[in-house]
């Protein structure tokens, strides 16, 4: 695993080494074309010198035309090779950005659920877009101009020395001031750009959160407060950008001043050398052209430093994600298991995070084909318990065993392919109903989709939509009601015909009549597989083979519906309260 430095230096860019080596052919080609382009451009002032000196000595018109045509030819050659350079180097930067983006996304897919609990979505989006673009600009325009500086500068200075060593010395005298300014400004640009990107993450997170929760905001009439809150974060983003602009705004004119100062020095001392006859007028023009050619690289040096520091700061932020190791991953000694039968056992399982104990010494065995219900008050740890089965989390103590094998020894892909999981929050993708139900199927089997919709009592609803199964549900299923979203999520879980079915409170937004219709069909479906139901409604779980009562992270009761009622404990009290509420509702 690559480790990124924390300082404002090139260590933050070490991850790019592999990408650069992979595309070294493109960079070498770009380097060669850049050399040819610069050589062609550097020949033009030499021809101009000969033409000027020739005119002074009485050169004819035919020779002048030849000089002009040669200059045109060299300019075209320089332009063509300059295009090839940009095409290769800028193209390589887009390719590397594409590969880095894929790597980042793939890495995010492999991170554990706990990472996303503590990291804002907007922050991740900012790093995957704004920061990645800063890295691309470094690899594209940054590398291009850096190579141009390294090639054009020494070549032009060498030719200038050939004309007049003394004049060249005068021309480069201001350059040490440029070096000193770069040393001073470089760390400041890094620090301030990192602050800008951090504020942009906060801005993105705020926008994403507000757009996702827009219905809640409108329901509570909080638009004005949210606008003011966003304005404050946006103001912070503006102020941090202005802090960066102040440095860059001063640095750029200073570089231009250094370049202009060199030109003034050359004009003064070079003009005197022409008058004294030390150099010819043509040589003076040639020298001035070379100086103009290195003026842009001198100015571009500041831009390259800016791109380098921005890219380094952004790569550091991207690296913070890439350096996150998945907490849940396949063990090296895992067994070659591809399918599961469905016997589940919790052996002295405890789980906690951030110093909070959620589950305590859970011991429970679920035989293959059983239907087990888990009930209990809010916050008892019901969802956490079932999330240990597909290894969304790992227990801090004890072990979860399926078919006699610790789940940590089962390949994650095989484990999760054998489990149909409908979580408490019914998340739908911005696709059609059919695509949401078929999500996770190896092939788009319409028959399986329709069967799952039938079991979920969703067929009538789908037929009522203008486009049927091809109806697009909108972002997060916004076009569907809460009950419809839950039933689509339920259909998605059962479409795979899993060995283990986990339904986490999937009837909370469904009316009791619809729930009973679904349960009738579900019971037939669950006869051949291990099923776990979480619900707050006794009507949902009363026919389960085993009912487990969870309270404060511990199993306090377990048994059948009749056994628990006879015991007169927490479950019986819960049942009596719901009976009273149902009677009141009928009145």
Cβ(262)–Cβ(174) below 8 Å: yes
Residue 41: in which H helix or E strand, if any? helix 24-56
Where helices occur in 213-280 by DSSP H, the ranges are 214-219, 223-276
Q: Which two tokens stand for residue 403?
A: 């078919």
Using DSSP's 3-state secondary structure scheme, residue 460 falls into helix
- DSSP codes joined into one string, 510-551: S-HHHHHHHHHHHHHHHTTSEEEEE-S-HHHHTT-SEEEEEE
474 secondary structure, DSSP code: -
Cβ(89)–Cβ(30) below 8 Å: yes
Other C-beta atoms lying within 10 Å of the C-beta of residue 190: 23
404 secondary structure, DSSP code: T
Closest listed residue to residue 371, CA positions, set 265, 502, 179, 535: 502
Cβ(384)–Cβ(393) below 8 Å: yes
Please tell me the distance from the alpha carbon of residue 117 to that of residue 387, in angstroms, as a whole number. 14
Model confidence, pTM: 0.77
Distance of CA 187 to the CA centre of its chain: 26
Closest listed residue to residue 289, CA positions, set 159, 147, 169: 159
Q: Which residues of 246-264 are buried (b: 16+ CB within 10 A; e: fewer)?
A: ebbeebeeebeebbeebee
pLDDT in tens, the chain (587 residues): 333 333 445 566 778 888 888 999 999 999 999 999 999 999 988 888 888 888 777 676 778 888 889 989 999 999 999 999 999 999 999 999 999 999 999 898 888 888 888 888 888 888 888 889 989 989 998 899 889 888 888 898 889 898 889 888 888 877 777 767 777 777 777 788 788 888 888 888 888 778 777 767 776 678 888 888 888 988 988 888 888 888 777 777 777 787 778 888 888 888 888 888 888 888 888 888 888 887 777 767 777 887 888 888 889 889 889 988 888 888 887 788 888 898 999 999 999 887 788 999 999 999 999 999 999 888 899 999 999 999 988 999 999 999 999 999 999 888 989 999 988 888 888 888 898 888 888 777 788 988 988 988 888 888 888 888 888 887 777 788 888 888 898 999 998 889 999 999 888 878 778 888 888 888 888 888 999 999 888 888 888 999 999 999 999 999 999 999 999 888 999 888 888 877 776 66
């Amino acid at each position: 695993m690559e480790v990124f430095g924390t300082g404002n230096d090139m260590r933050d860019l070490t991850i790019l080494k592999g990408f650069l080596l992979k595309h070294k052919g493109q960079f070498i080609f770009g380097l060669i074309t850049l050399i040819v382009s610069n050589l062609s451009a550097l020949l033009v002032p030499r021809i101009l010198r000969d033409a000027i000196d020739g005119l002074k000595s009485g050169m004819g018109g035919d020779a002048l035309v030849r000089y002009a045509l040669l200059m045109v030819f060299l300019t075209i050659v320089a332009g063509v090779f300059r295009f090839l350079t940009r095409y290769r180097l800028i193209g390589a930067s887009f390719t590397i950005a594409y590969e880095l983006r894929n790597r980042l996304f793939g890495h995010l897919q492999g991170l554990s659920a706990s990472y996303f609990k503590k990291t804002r979505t907007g922050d991740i989006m900012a790093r995957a877009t704004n920061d990645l673009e800063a890295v691309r600009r470094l690899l594209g325009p940054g590398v291009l101009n850096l190579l141009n500086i390294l090639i054009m500068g020494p070549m032009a200075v060498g030719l200038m020395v050939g004309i007049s060593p003394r004049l060249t010395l005068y021309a480069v005298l201001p350059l040490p001031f440029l070096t000193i300014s770069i040393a001073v400004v470089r760390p400041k640009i890094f620090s301030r750009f990192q602050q800008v990107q951090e504020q942009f993450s906060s801005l993105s997170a705020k926008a994403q959160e507000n757009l996702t929760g827009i219905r809640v905001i409108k329901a509570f009439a909080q638009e004005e407060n949210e606008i003011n809150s966003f304005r404050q974060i946006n103001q912070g983003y503006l102020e941090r950008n202005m802090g960066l602009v102040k440095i860059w705004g001063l640095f750029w004119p200073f570089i231009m001043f250094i370049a202009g100062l060199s030109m003034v020095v050359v004009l003064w001392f070079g003009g005197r050398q022409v008058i004294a006859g030390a150099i010819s007028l043509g040589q003076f023009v040639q020298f001035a052209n070379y100086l103009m050619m290195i003026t842009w690289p001198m100015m571009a040096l500041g831009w390259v430093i800016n791109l380098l520091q921005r890219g380094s700061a952004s790569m550091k932020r991207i690296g913070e994600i890439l350096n996150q190791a998945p907490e849940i991953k396949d063990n090296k000694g895992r067994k070659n298991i591809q399918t599961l039968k469905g016997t589940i056992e919790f052996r002295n399982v405890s789980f906690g995070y951030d110093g909070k104990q959620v589950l305590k010494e859970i011991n429970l065995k679920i035989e293959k084909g059983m239907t087990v219900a888990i009930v209990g008050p809010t916050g008892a740890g019901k969802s956490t318990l079932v999330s240990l089965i597909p290894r969304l989390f790992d227990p801090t103590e004890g072990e979860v065993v399926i078919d006699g094998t610790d789940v940590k020894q089962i390949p994650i892909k095989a484990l999760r392919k054998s489990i149909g999981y409908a979580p408490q929050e019914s998340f739908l993708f911005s696709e059609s109903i059919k695509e949401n139900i078929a999500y996770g199927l190896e092939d788009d089997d319409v028959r399986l989709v329709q069967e799952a919709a039938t079991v979920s009592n969703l067929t009538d609803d789908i037929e009522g939509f203008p486009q049927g199964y091809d109806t697009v549900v909108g972002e997060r299923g916004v076009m569907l009601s809460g009950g419809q979203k839950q039933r689509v999520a339920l259909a998605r879980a059962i479409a795979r015909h899993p060995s283990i079915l986990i339904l986490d409170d999937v009837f909370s937004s469904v009316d009791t009549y619809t729930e009973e219709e679904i349960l009738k069909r579900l019971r037939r479906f669950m006869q051949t597989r291990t099923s776990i139901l979480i619900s707050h409604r006794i009507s949902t779980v009363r026919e389960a083979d085993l009912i487990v009562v969870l309270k404060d992270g511990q199993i306090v009761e377990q048994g059948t519906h009749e056994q628990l009622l006879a015991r007169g404990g927490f479950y019986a009290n819960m049942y009596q309260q719901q009976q009273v509420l149902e009677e009141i509702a009928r009145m």
